[in-house]
Amino acid sequence: METVFISELKPFLDSFAGEMDLYVPKKTGQHFVFNRYDPAAETGMDFNNIRVCMPVKEFLFPLRDLAAVFPEPVEPEEIKPFAVFGLKECDLRSIDILDKVFAEAEFEDAFYIARRQKMFIVSSDCFEPGESCFCNVIEGKAYPDHGFDLNVARVTDGFVIEIGSRKGREFVGKHSELFTKPSDEVLAERDRIRAETLEQLERNNADMKFDMPIRDIMNKTYDSDVYDEEAKTCVECQACTRVCPTCHCFYLYDTKQKDYFAKMKMWDSCMRMAYAQVAGGANPRKVLGDRLKHRLMHKFVYFLDRYGLQMCIGCGRCVDAEAGEVDIRAVLKKLNEELKNTKVTK
């Protein structure tokens, strides 16, 4: 892939101003979130080593969104081009997953597609993986190789920028004065950091070795008690689905405005008790452990069966956000263990 080099970030970030809104990572307390970039501010952004805690779905499929206005439909507000800096490889895979759902040929979600088309993606390499990062276990890695317009890799003396799309190339062409050719040394340094980060990920997750694909483990341990056991500390805060970049359940509701009616779309959570309940009260997942099981089966089995992708990216956000102690990694490990033990006894 074609690469260019910059020694400072600020001129690069400033060059977005005037063309589109740019969202950059900013540290608030322990966490990184995305903020709108202000070229005039002294500290424009904080470089994020790993994914920020906000899932990328917030840009494509906001928490609360207008779905329809009636009886007189209105043209939705036009989405202006915008850029997001600092998405990671896991985030890009979460977009692949959301695309499967919202850009599905027969039922394209116009709102999602409009935002998706207007989004300019500046991803960046990871380093120093977080305690909860386990992307390498779920076919991920510490840097992206597709799905971005530009990708930024930090090295000692600057930043190596990879061009990943036509939009990215146009941007670089338009601002060619900012970029130089990267030296072989900086490219070598980037590759060394990438390899080191990957090794670090593998070391951190050395205990997540599975005897077969997760899908098969989960299918074979469907009746396991592990879900009920693990769900014991769940306080139903729904933070796991809220921060999960691939969870995409939503709730439709209607509101009365002064001159019109509006149908709204809001994120929902399959961990919520009444989520699957129908009028009259029937509910196939009254039990918390069943809801946890459904959530994980959806991620590792159902979605994979339907769309050919696992619906977990290994970002670990759910592990960090949990108010209880439910840990998706622990569930998977215990299921694998259980399968191993059953085999031995049989």
Partner 1 sequence: MKPNLYQPINSEITDITDESPTIKSYVVVPAEPFKFQTGQFVELTLPGEGEAPFTPSSSPADTEKMEISIMKAGRMTALLHDCKAGQKVGIRGPYGNGYPIEDFLGKEVYIVGGGVGLAPIRSLFLTLVDRIKDFKSVVCRYGARTPEDFIYKKALFGPWQKINGVDIKLTVDNADGQWKGNVGVVTTILEPDDVNIKNAVAVVCGPPIMMKFATLKLLEFGFAAKDIYLSMEKNMSCGFGKCGHCMIGKYYVCKDGPVFTYEQIKEYPKIWD
Among 255, 323, 341, 343, binds partner 1 (CB under 8 A): 255
CA-nearest of 55, 53, 91, 97 to 298 is 97
Task: Give me the 262-281 binding string for partner 1, x by CB under 8 A, dash otherwise.
Answer: -x-x--x-x----xxxxxx-
Task: Give me the 191-230 binding string for partner 1, x by CB under 8 A, dash otherwise.
Answer: ----------------------------------------
* Contact (CB, 8 A) for 69 and 262: yes
* Contact (CB, 8 A) for 328 and 315: no
Q: How many residues touch partner 1 (CB under 8 A)? A: 51
Count Cβ atoms below 10 Å from residue 126 Cβ, excluding itself.
28
Among 254, 273, 323, 342, binds partner 1 (CB under 8 A): 254
Amino acid (one-letter) located at 207: D
Among 83, 301, 313, 331, binds partner 1 (CB under 8 A): 301
CA-nearest of 20, 23, 21 to 44 is 23
Please give the residues from 55 up to 114 whose contact with partner 1 meets the rule CB under 8 A.
Answer: 67-68, 70-71, 73, 75-76, 101-102, 104, 106-111, 113-114
Coil/strand/helix, residue 171: helix
Please give the residues from 117 up to 176 whose contact with partner 1 meets the rule CB under 8 A.
Answer: none
Q: Describe the chain by its helix, strand, coil percentages, rounded to 5.
A: 40, 20, 40
Q: Which is nearer to partner 1, 209 or 256 (CB)?
A: 256
CA-nearest of 33, 117, 38 to 82 is 117
Interatomic CA distance for residues 83 and 23, integer angstroms: 6
Among 195, 252, 273, 323, binds partner 1 (CB under 8 A): 252
Tell the smallest beta-carbon distance from residue 280 to partner 1 (Å). Answer: 4
Q: Tell me which residues touch partner 1 (CB under 8 A).
A: 67-68, 70-71, 73, 75-76, 101-102, 104, 106-111, 113-114, 248-256, 261, 263, 265, 268, 270, 275-280, 282-286, 290, 294, 297-298, 301-302, 305-306
